[in-house]
Amino acid sequence: MSEETTPFLELAGVTKKYGDFTAVSDINLSIREGELFTLVGPSGSGKTTMIRMLVGMDQPTSGEMRLKGRVLNKVPANKRPTCMVFQSLALFPHKSVGENVEFAMKIAGVDPARRRQRAEELLAQLRLPLDCYDKGVNQCSGGERQRIALARALAFNPEILFFDEPLSALDFRLRKALEKELKDIHRETGKTFVYITHSLEEAMVMSDRIGIMRDGRIVQVGTPHEIYNKPINEFVAKFMGEVNSLEVEAVGENMVKSKVYGDTYHVGTMPAGFTAGFLIIRPEVVKIGKAAAPMPNRIQGVVFNDYALGSRIQYQVRSATNGDPWLVERLQDEAYEGQLGDTVDIGWRPEDSIVLSE
Amino acid sequence: MTGTFPTRHSTTLTAIWTIVVLLFLYIPMMAVVLASFSKLRYFRFPITGWTTEWYSKTLESLSVRDLLWTSLSVATLVTVLSVGLAFFGALAFARYDWTGRKLYQRLVLLPIFFPQAVLGLSLLLWFSALGITTSWKTAVFAHMIWIVPIVILIISIQVYSFDSALEEAAFDLGASRWQVMKEITLPIMSPGIVSGGIFAFLLSWGNFPLSLFSTGADQTVPEWLYAKMVSGYTPMVPTLGSLTMSGAAILLLLIYLAWMAIVRRKRGRAGSQ
Amino acid sequence: MNWIRQPGVVAALPAAIFLFVGFAGPLLMVFGYSFMPEKTFTLKQLPTVENYVSVVTDSYYISFTWSVFLAALTVLLLFPICYPIAYGMAKLFGKWAKLVTALIAIPLLISENIRLFGWVLILLKNGIFDGTMQSLFDVSVSGLLYTVPAIVLGLVYVYLPFMLFPLVIGISMIPDVVKEAAADLGANRWQVFREVELPLAMPGIMIGCILSFILVLGSLAESKILGGQAIVMIADDIESAFTFAQNWPKGSVLSVLLIALSGFIVFTLFRRIDLDQVIGRR
């Protein structure tokens, strides 16, 4: 990781307490200029508190936030060179689309002709039709409203643009399209984007780097690739998607034993000094039927159900010995040929398993 | 599937019942207007002779002009002061989360749930204890005790539906506190403020129990009407009654038209391609 | 955090101070006067409870009883009159609901005295009703005015909106799907009303009933204008104690009793209701 890049936005020991409750605890983080950084975590993990402090709606109880070396803590939101796209979008309902986009420029005292010109540029950049300009914001569709909110924030010309789950209310297809569009706009403008979401999928598609939050702390920071392949603990591994997870302990060189049932598995590598923890097997590395035969790790089970996932198909196989459910995911063209209720073998290679201490 | 139960049948019955009750509400007012055109010095139905002379007599009467002027001054002052106080009162009522808010909400509403005549009398004792001579100015104060809570309630309804993220967004986009108020808060809350103002004006204009004890030597229109009604009939009672009713109706109509014009202008702007 | 510096406190202060001076002050004043000897006009006498004794032993219980009886009767009449309309406004009338709301609110803005005077004209001997009956059927129905039923009519008429609007708010708090679910589970129309509608609309129903009850309790004009000398209600007694009899302490005692009664009812109501939910429909 290239830590030598000049720190752009830096957080040092940032903590936020509400009475006895610690919402955010001792966050140290540095965000680089021009990157799209995503904070992701389940609800209640402190990510909303983080973004509110970064924008200036809230103040940290302790710690420092610095933008290009300048301490931000005491700077009120309206004096910060940052801007946020709200979860509710917060479009001004009594103003037209044009007036919404021009708001920051009007506040800054830009003359009307210049304002209008810039607003029209932004509408064009965000692929909004020009006749939108005079429309009321409530007459626009969900996707248009997203773009208007983004245009309004870009018109402020912020150093950093924050996003508070703006896509969460949209339907699946529109959300997928806008995720990519947002990433394209990020490339076009070259600005620093900080995005928060509870959906790791969304974070994977868009981000240059991801920070995973849990209980007010940052658990892991890395590129989507790093986080997918090297989750730091079981929480991150599970958060990344559906996995098979077993509580295990070490029983020799690259061998682990299930704490509950005592069955043993071969693994590729173990963390240094590993004694006990979790064995994580991704559904997509598990083979089923004939393909499972040569695998060193094998379980016999009954095919209980199947789930179509578009290009893939997922099976739930229940262990014949203890009934534990295992998830197996296959591409459509290597789907299992038998029937539900069949007794089959599933298996995986030792090097495809992940062993985690916590 | 069982039939969905707001049936056509019950909707029609409900509508008919509503119309009956609306007629019940308006018939007495129509009676007043009818009586104001009767020629006789006492009221008798069916009306035999029609005239508008009571209108000219009423309008020419100096004492009636005094009454109207007093009522108008009281109502105008009450409106301006109440809306000012109630705007911030409503923010505290519905917007901000603060320790003591639940208690404040209840205490503020108490005057509405309070017998007005008793309130008027208590204020009379209060004024005399403070050595204040009662006049139309004390009536302004008295009306406000009852009207400020009502206006707080009306504006609060608007405040509840106000998304505070709008203010935060404006603030985030560089606006100062004052600019946020001017550009976002006031325009969005204006329907609540205007309806609060209308209620304040007309409730003060029509109030009797509070005026009775707090106006001192001055007299408002409802007080005069009451005095005349209790002491005997004069044709000026229905006439002045009709006049103030039409005044209220015209005021409401004007506000409605102005509001429609604003809406249409907004729509027009929105519709222009 | 410093309590006084919360934005809510700052916004609440002007109205709170105003109401404290203008509402709490006078109430304390009434309370103080109620302990003064008869027919005094200052608070500088030795306190005494003789007014309370004389009020209780005197015949004031009659006007109190009339007030409570009429208040209860008015509420009992208003609820069934208003419920269907409120239901219609909240659930059935759609875009017409706004018009109905306006039409019911407008009379509120016209002085109560004028509207009651309209009833005088209708009920009067040789008035609109009597005159119509005479000319159509040749029967005279005089003697309608200055009776207890006329007062009840006036009370129902004047306080109808105060029952109706809280009911509308209460009923609109009932989600349609919940009623549909109850019906789907086999409840009939009456069971849906009793098991689902009524409990969910209860905050609005309680506010409506209690508001109209208390307003009738303190009403003055209806019994005087439409009732004449028929009966005396408590607010009437209070008024004459202050004005005609010039006995402030006695009027104060009656006021204190009336305030205590309505205060008790209101506080019982407020303890059970979340105003944010009712007014803000959260």
> For A118-130, what is each residue's pLDDT tens digit?
999 999 988 898 8
CB A33 within 8 A of CB A189: no
User: Are residues B173 and A156, on separate chains, in Cβ contact within 8 Å?
Assistant: yes
What per-residue confidence (pLDDT) applies to B272? 41
Whose CA is closest to C67, among C262, C273, C277?
C262
**For residue B269, pLDDT beyond 70:** no
What per-residue confidence (pLDDT) applies to B144? 96
Per the domain annotation, does B100 fall within a domain?
A: yes
Nearest chain B residue (CA) to C208: B113
Secondary structure (DSSP) of C127-152: SHHHHHHHHHHS------SSSHHHHH
Do A207 and A290 fall into the same domain? no
**For residue B153, pLDDT beyond 60:** yes
B273 touches chain A (CB under 8 A): yes
What per-residue confidence (pLDDT) applies to A2? 47
Give the CATH number for residue B62. Answer: 1.10.3720.10
Q: What percent of chain C has pLDDT over 90?
A: 26
Do A126 and A265 fall into the same domain? no
Do A219 and A283 fall into the same domain? no
Residues of A in contact with B176 (CB under 8 A): 78
For residue C65, the tally of other CB atoms under 10 A from its CB is 11
Do A152 and A265 fall into the same domain? no
Do A303 and A336 fall into the same domain? yes
**pLDDT tens-digit series, residues C229-254:** 888 999 889 988 888 888 888 889 99
Q: What percent of chain C has pLDDT over 70?
A: 98
Q: Which chain B residues in 88-147 lie under 8 Å from chain C, judged by CB atoms?
A: 88-89, 91-102, 104-119, 121-126, 128-129, 141-142, 144-145
Rounded CA-CA distance A154/A156 in Å is 5
Question: What is the average pLDDT across B148-163?
Answer: 89
β-bridge pairing A217-222 and A209-214: antiparallel
B273 pLDDT band, cuts 50/70/90, is: very low
Look at chain C and report how many structural domains it folds into: 1
What per-residue confidence (pLDDT) applies to C175? 84
Do A316 and A228 fall into the same domain? no
B194 touches chain A (CB under 8 A): no
- Read off φ and ψ for residue C70, nearest 5 degrees: -65, -35
B2 pLDDT band, cuts 50/70/90, is: very low
User: Are residues B128 and C3, on separate chains, in Cβ contact within 8 Å?
Assistant: no
Whose CA is closest to C237, among C49, C29, C59?
C59
* Residue A82, token pair as written in the block: 């940052």
**What is the CA A201 to chain-centroid distance, rounded?**
6
**For residue C146, pLDDT beyond 80:** yes
* Residue B109, token pair as written in the block: 């509403």
B7 pLDDT band, cuts 50/70/90, is: low
Do A336 and A201 fall into the same domain? no
What per-residue confidence (pLDDT) applies to B268? 56
CB A311 within 8 A of CB A244: no
A273 pLDDT band, cuts 50/70/90, is: confident
How would you class C220 by CB atoms within 10 Å of its CB: exposed for 0-12, middle for 13-18, buried for 19 or more?
buried
Question: Which among A207, A235, A263 is the end of a domain?
Answer: A235
Do A183 and A278 fall into the same domain? no
B154-168, C1-15, C121-135: which range is least confident on average? Answer: C1-15
Beta bridge partners of A246: A279
Per the domain annotation, does C138 fall within a domain?
A: yes
Question: Which among A235, A254, A283 is the end of a domain?
Answer: A235
Secondary structure (DSSP) of A247-309: EEEE-STTEEEETTT--EEE-S---TT--EEEEEE-GGG-EEGGGGTT-SEEEEEEEEEEEEE
**For residue A5, pLDDT beyond 70:** no
What per-residue confidence (pLDDT) applies to C109? 79
**For residue B266, pLDDT beyond 80:** no
Whose CA is closest to A288, among A347, A332, A338, A340?
A347
Do A246 and A231 fall into the same domain? no
What per-residue confidence (pLDDT) applies to A347? 92
**pLDDT tens-digit series, residues B70-89:** 999 999 999 999 999 999 99
Question: Which among A180, A204, A235 is the end of a domain?
Answer: A235
Give the CATH number for residue C163. Answer: 1.10.3720.10
Average pLDDT, chain C: 87
**Where would I find the H helices in chain B?**
8-36, 53-60, 62-90, 101-109, 116-129, 136-160, 164-172, 177-180, 186-206, 209-214, 221-231, 236-271
Residue environment code for A112-149, b if the CB has 16+ CB neighbours within 10 A, otherwise e: eeebbebbbebbeebebeeebbbbbbeebeebbbbbbb
Give the single-character DSSP code of B3. Answer: P
Do A252 and A228 fall into the same domain? no
A6 pLDDT band, cuts 50/70/90, is: low
Do A178 and A282 fall into the same domain? no
B181 touches chain A (CB under 8 A): no
State the residue range of the domain holding C94. Answer: 58-280
**For residue B5, pLDDT beyond 70:** no
Rounded CA-CA distance A220/A204 in Å is 14
What per-residue confidence (pLDDT) applies to A44? 85
CB B208 within 8 A of CB B117: no
A132 touches chain B (CB under 8 A): no
Q: Radius of gyration (Cα) for chain C, nearest Å?
A: 23
Residue A79, by phi and psi: left (phi above 0), alpha (psi -120 to 50) or beta? alpha
Do A214 and A248 fall into the same domain? no
Per the domain annotation, does C27 fall within a domain?
A: no
B11 touches chain C (CB under 8 A): yes
Average pLDDT, chain A: 89
Per the domain annotation, does B31 fall within a domain?
A: no
User: Are residues B91 and C11, on separate chains, in Cβ contact within 8 Å?
Assistant: yes
What per-residue confidence (pLDDT) applies to A123? 92
Per the domain annotation, does A3 fall within a domain?
A: no
User: Are residues B205 and C111, on separate chains, in Cβ contact within 8 Å?
Assistant: yes
End-to-end alpha carbon distance in chain C: 27
CB C104 within 8 A of CB C168: no
Per the domain annotation, does A254 fall within a domain?
A: yes
Edge-first strand order for the sheet with A343-348 is A287-288, A343-348, A297-309, A312-319, A325-331
Per the domain annotation, does A2 fall within a domain?
A: no
Chains sharing 3 or more CB pairs under 8 A with chain C = B
What per-residue confidence (pLDDT) applies to A350? 92
Rounded CA-CA distance C134/C130 in Å is 6
Of B28, B101, B116, the CB nearest to C118: B28
Of A92, A96, A156, the CB nearest to B166: A92
State the residue range of the domain holding A265. Answer: 242-356
Rounded CA-CA distance B138/B145 in Å is 11
CA distance B127 to chain A (A): 45
**pLDDT tens-digit series, residues A44-70:** 888 989 999 999 888 899 999 999 888
**pLDDT tens-digit series, residues A171-207:** 888 888 889 999 999 999 999 999 999 888 888 889 9
* Residue A183, token pair as written in the block: 């990433």
What per-residue confidence (pLDDT) applies to B9? 78
Give the CATH number for residue A112. Answer: 3.40.50.300
Residues of B in contact with A76 (CB under 8 A): 171
Residues of A in contact with B172 (CB under 8 A): 55-57, 77-78, 80, 82-84
CB B157 within 8 A of CB B196: no
ipTM for this model: 0.86
Edge-first strand order for the sheet with A70-71 is A21-31, A9-18, A62-67, A70-71
Rounded CA-CA distance B187/B189 in Å is 5
Question: What is the average pLDDT across A206-210?
Answer: 93
What per-residue confidence (pLDDT) applies to B271? 44
B169 touches chain A (CB under 8 A): yes
**For residue A358, pLDDT beyond 60:** yes
CB C111 within 8 A of CB B221: yes
Look at chain A and report how many structural domains it folds into: 2
Look at chain B and report how many structural domains it folds into: 1
State the residue range of the domain holding B247. Answer: 43-265
**Where would I find the H helices in A16-141?**
47-55, 97-107, 112-125
Q: Is A221 helix (H, G, I), strand (E, B) or coil?
A: strand
